Structure 1
Amino acid sequence: MDTKLLRQKILDLAIRGKLVPQDPNDEPASVLLEKIRAEKKRLIKEKKIKPTKGKSDKSHYEKEIPFEVPENWEWVKLGEIAQHNVGKTLNKSRDSGEIREYITTSNLYWGRFDFTEIRSMPIEENEFSKCSAIRGDLLICEGGDAGRSAIWNYNYSICFQNHIHRVRPFEGVETKYLYYHMMYIYLNGNIKQYLKGVGIQSLSGTSLASIVLPLPPTNEQILISNEIELLFELIETIEENKVSLEDLIVQTKSKILDLAVRGKLVPQDSSDEPATTLLEQIRKRKKSHKQTSDTSHYPFEVPKNWLWCNFSDLYILISGRDLDKDEFNDVGFGIPYLIGASSLINNQFEVNRWTTTPKVLSEKDDLLITCKGTVGELIINDIGKVHIARQFMAIRSIVKIKTKFTKYFFEYSIETIKERAKGVIPGISRKDILEIFIPLPPLAEQKRIVSQIEKIFAQLEIIEDSLKA
């Protein structure tokens, strides 16, 4: 579920008058506008506010309205229905006044404030009313992430600096409605038409005042805001559950692998040929191999018919080698040349280089592990002979071992392996791999373990896919 698009859709319905039912008994927005104009005239006469530059041109809305709205709504500009101004500019030459705390754009986020770092500056008493916010004011970033907004809902006032707009709506205009409209034009990108500047753009006071929006009756503004708030809370719950479920899936996979390598995922079968039979194959190859009764250095206990083995008892480790530019091509001549993690996309090979003069070959059924830069990516070679660069090491079994079992064991161990990575460009050495101990089950049990892991992981991946839908 794309929750960002869901929010956009809810806001789109709200701003078009389609989120809540229309009430014919509501006082139309045109009456509200007349009241606001009368109030503004009174305040101008009393010299409490300055006259608005320019005149409202209602015909402009009638000619270029963005979309149709209900009959009892009105198209307005933000400057017509709210007072607005920016805060105080830091100025060392004007550093008199009482030291007061103030917020900047770094404290202002969508729907919330971060008080981790609050600054202070001197503010004169006659400046305080202009550069302080009270409960119910809408604060909007002028620069940085221009348009980002939050409502000041605290019972105390706070000062703010000149890169924040304070929007204080006239009576009958809901602050929450204006907040959601700012979010609406921010999410759909329409805010860009109001921004100025190259590179870092800003939202000037003039541009803020010119923002065009549909104004519903007061009662409907309240209903719309409350409905959006309710729906957004539900979306947040979905997001939290989604994250929790995603984390749970990761933890579940980790636990499945943990049970698998400890011999606790599938039942043991006494009729299975024990792992010691595989060890006999090793002894024939390595006459010097000695089995010890001391198991204290092994990470954990395994079933009786399992066997702890050194890496080199079971596998050979092949380190890759880079080719010179004249030794490979990009037109498909020769065998694939795998250069590193960039050759792996969605657990599949992405081949864009080939060579007719391979130096280090990986063969089909090898387990490849990235060892430089991006460390710990794992993939089974299912395409045959390939040349591997030094960003890869190939793990090739020398006895009958399911490669998928080996891969799952390394997935279980991968975080421990990554911790060994060293250097500015992280890398693991051959020694980091060769020192690993491997818990070896009977071959038949390896097959059952792999089958059970694949079955469980497939079910978990269906759930993961549903979360992305």
Structure 2
Amino acid sequence: MVSVLSSYYEKFLATGEVKCIDEEIPFEIPQGWEWCRISSIFQLNPKIEANDDTLAAFIPMEAISAVYSSEYSYYERRWKEIKSGFTQFADGDIAFAKITPCFQNRKSAVFSNLPNGIGAGTTELKVLRPYGETINRFFALYFLESPYFIDEATFKGTANQQRIASGYLENKLFPLPPIEEQCRIANKIAEVVPMVDRYGTAQTKLDNLNVELKNILKKSILQEAIQGKLVPQIVEEGTAQELHEQIKQEKQKLVKEGKVKKSALTDSVIFKGDDNKYWEKLGKEIHCIDDEIPFEIPASWQWVRIKDIFQINPKNVAEDNCISAFIPMQKICATYGSEFYYDEVQWKTIKTGYTHFADGDVAFAKITPCFQNRKSVIFIGLPNGIGAGTTELKVMRPYGETINRWYLLYFLKSPYFIDEAQFKGTANQQRIITGYLENKLFPLPPKFEQDRIVQRIKQLASIMSR
């Protein structure tokens, strides 16, 4: 590849064709350097020949560190165990992860001191081997970790699993200095990286502290809110007991219309007795629930069970060709707000096998870690007012306009709801236990107080985001 009269040209040895590549040149390089295609100066994914019983290194992806250096660990294996079905490499080879997000996190390494100088590992690696001692390995590593290589990459695959596009590495232009200059550059980078790392670590700690402080404040505000400590109580706004009666009337109306089952009318009543203890009455049975009460609430509030004041996972009815929203888990944001995205699809494609919801419904992720990350939303503005999505959602629908949706959302993000949850499942995939949501005690304020609480939380959130 040569520069002639300030333009760059590439000659193809097989055909003798010469073409101008000015539009590909990303930046100017010093005199004495040369632009080269990666495929012309490195062997890519070379193969290893070794005896089956030779000890070798086995390196899975998790054993390669995501840092601006070359840190990795390995397990010793017989070559026959790893020679097939894995990516092979040897001492002096340079490798990087070709899959996201490992690629962007700069999982890359220069291999050295491997058992018998050889190894194999994850198939999600690309391996480069210089021809002889023409390339300083660490200069090549720093190139692979540079913004020029990382940020310009193109990918193929699904949203959850993407790899760099075929040919991206092979055709990438590599700025090649003389070998002595490569060594000086690599040595200088190695000299300054520890200082940058120390600064970066300190800055990261400060950033994390700021984020954690904001999270602590948000959690504290939400906890104060659901305990009735965020805004004063106003007698003229009525009581939660009156609101509870209104909820019962809304349910009776829906039962008469055939929209809700009659079993929804079997509410329990929670009250404070003359003995200053909390009691729950369900039908003719009364029992003390003092040990369930998590904190005191104002006298105008009332403890209720969630199943008594919300419809849980209600169903939609719509025409098959009705355009509706499809919302997988990745389109729900993990925030203290309500952010989500959707794809428009016909109702017939999502009406079975997915969780239903509609405008005004409030939903939260029931699976870890999405649950703890507060993936919860108020659905609004859905196409034709309906949608369906991930089966890992629990959906709640208030009866009429008795509950402020934002008050409910903040309750679902509060430490009381998040931190006390119990789970079942494997270590990698756990869900809240059956009944946790339905039987959870909900601190119910009068409707106007709910509105004032929401307004105050949003005011404080606005101040904290500055």
Shorter chain as normaliser: what TM range?
0.5 to 0.7
1:214 pairs, out of 167, 170, 177, with 177
In the alignment, structure 1 residue 347 sits paired with structure 2 residue 307: no
Could you say which residue in structure 2 is the equivalent of 1:298? Answer: 292
Could you say which residue in structure 2 is the equivalent of 1:449? Answer: 453
In the alignment, structure 1 residue 119 sits paired with structure 2 residue 77: yes
Q: CA deviation at 1:249?
A: 3.8
Could you say which residue in structure 2 is the equivalent of 1:29? Answer: none
In the alignment, structure 1 residue 70 sits paired with structure 2 residue 35: no
The answer to whether the Cα contact below 8 Å between 1:143 and 1:202 also exists between their aligned partners in 2 is: no
Q: CA deviation at 1:261?
A: 1.6
Q: 1:407 to 1:314 in 2, by over 3 A?
A: farther
Return the alpha-carbon distance in structure 2 between the equivalents of residues 430 and 83 of structure 1. Answer: 56
In the alignment, structure 1 residue 411 sits paired with structure 2 residue 413: yes
Could you say which residue in structure 2 is the equivalent of 1:277? Answer: 239
Could you say which residue in structure 1 is the equivalent of 2:57? Answer: 102
Could you say which residue in structure 1 is the equivalent of 2:85? Answer: none
Return the alpha-carbon distance in structure 2 between the equivalents of residues 188 and 316 of structure 1. Answer: 47
Return the alpha-carbon distance in structure 2 between the equivalents of residues 339 and 219 of structure 1. Answer: 55
Q: Which runs of 5+ in 2 are unaligned?
A: 1-12, 81-88, 122-126, 156-163, 250-266, 279-289, 348-355
In the alignment, structure 1 residue 329 sits paired with structure 2 residue 322: yes
1:262 pairs, out of 222, 227, 231, with 227
Q: Give CA-to-partner distance per residue, 1:171-214, whole Å, 9 cap, x none.
A: 9x86543431343464255899xxxxx9988989xx99x96512
Q: CA deviation at 1:379?
A: 0.7
Q: Give CA-to-partner distance per residue, 1:231-284, whole Å, 9 cap, x none.
A: 466456555654564455444433321222223445x45xx2299833145468
Q: Give CA-to-partner distance per residue, 1:287-334, whole Å, 9 cap, x none.
A: 9957342321433122443533223797352753243654x523xxxx
Q: Which runs of 5+ in 1 are unaligned?
A: 1-54, 123-130, 193-197, 331-336, 356-360, 463-469
Return the alpha-carbon distance in structure 1 between the equivalents of residues 382 and 314 of structure 2. Answer: 17
1:141 pairs, out of 83, 95, 101, with 95
Aligned ranges 1:428-439 → 2 under 5 Å: 433-439=437-443
Q: CA deviation at 1:437?
A: 1.7
1:89 pairs, out of 45, 49, 55, with 49
Q: Give CA-to-partner distance per residue, 1:101-131, whole Å, 9 cap, x none.
A: 5355755556333325333559xxxxxxxx9
Q: 1:182 to 1:321 in 2, by over 3 A?
A: closer
1:368 pairs, out of 362, 365, 371, with 362
The answer to whether the Cα contact below 8 Å between 1:369 and 1:377 also exists between their aligned partners in 2 is: yes
The answer to whether the Cα contact below 8 Å between 1:104 and 1:161 also exists between their aligned partners in 2 is: yes
The answer to whether the Cα contact below 8 Å between 1:368 and 1:380 also exists between their aligned partners in 2 is: yes
Q: 1:420 to 1:200 in 2, by over 3 A?
A: same
Return the alpha-carbon distance in structure 2 between the equivalents of residues 448 and 363 of structure 1. Answer: 25
Aligned ranges 1:10-21 → 2 under 5 Å: none
Q: What amino acid maps onto 1:378 in structure 2?
A: V
Return the alpha-carbon distance in structure 2 between the equivalents of residues 389 and 80 of structure 1. Answer: 51
Aligned ranges 1:166-181 → 2 under 5 Å: 175-181=137-143
Return the alpha-carbon distance in structure 1 between the equivalents of residues 39 and 307 of structure 2. Answer: 78
1:187 pairs, out of 150, 161, 164, with 150
Return the alpha-carbon distance in structure 2 between the equivalents of residues 288 and 212 of structure 1. Answer: 74
Task: Compare relative contact order (CA 8 Å, sep 6+) and give the higher one, 1 or 2.
Answer: 1
Q: Give CA-to-partner distance per residue, 1:388-431, whole Å, 9 cap, x none.
A: 779875532578654432332233265479857999x9999996
- Larger proportion of strand: 2
Could you say which residue in structure 2 is the equivalent of 1:30? Answer: none
Could you say which residue in structure 1 is the equivalent of 2:301? Answer: 307
Return the alpha-carbon distance in structure 2 between the equivalents of residues 388 and 362 of structure 1. Answer: 5
Return the alpha-carbon distance in structure 2 between the equivalents of residues 298 and 276 of structure 1. Answer: 26
Q: 1:112 to 1:221 in 2, by over 3 A?
A: closer
Return the alpha-carbon distance in structure 1 between the equivalents of residues 43 and 312 of structure 2. Answer: 72
The two structures have a TM-score, normalised by structure 2, of 0.52
Return the alpha-carbon distance in structure 2 between the equivalents of residues 351 and 105 of structure 1. Answer: 36
Q: What amino acid maps onto 2:57 in structure 1?
A: Y
Could you say which residue in structure 1 is the equivalent of 2:109? Answer: 150
- Partner SS for 2:454: helix
Return the alpha-carbon distance in structure 2 between the equivalents of residues 349 and 143 of structure 1. Answer: 30
Q: Which has the larger radius of gyration?
A: 1
The answer to whether the Cα contact below 8 Å between 1:273 and 1:443 also exists between their aligned partners in 2 is: no
- Larger proportion of helix: 1
Q: 1:87 to 1:148 in 2, by over 3 A?
A: farther
Q: 1:461 to 1:314 in 2, by over 3 A?
A: farther
Percent identity of equivalent pairs: 14
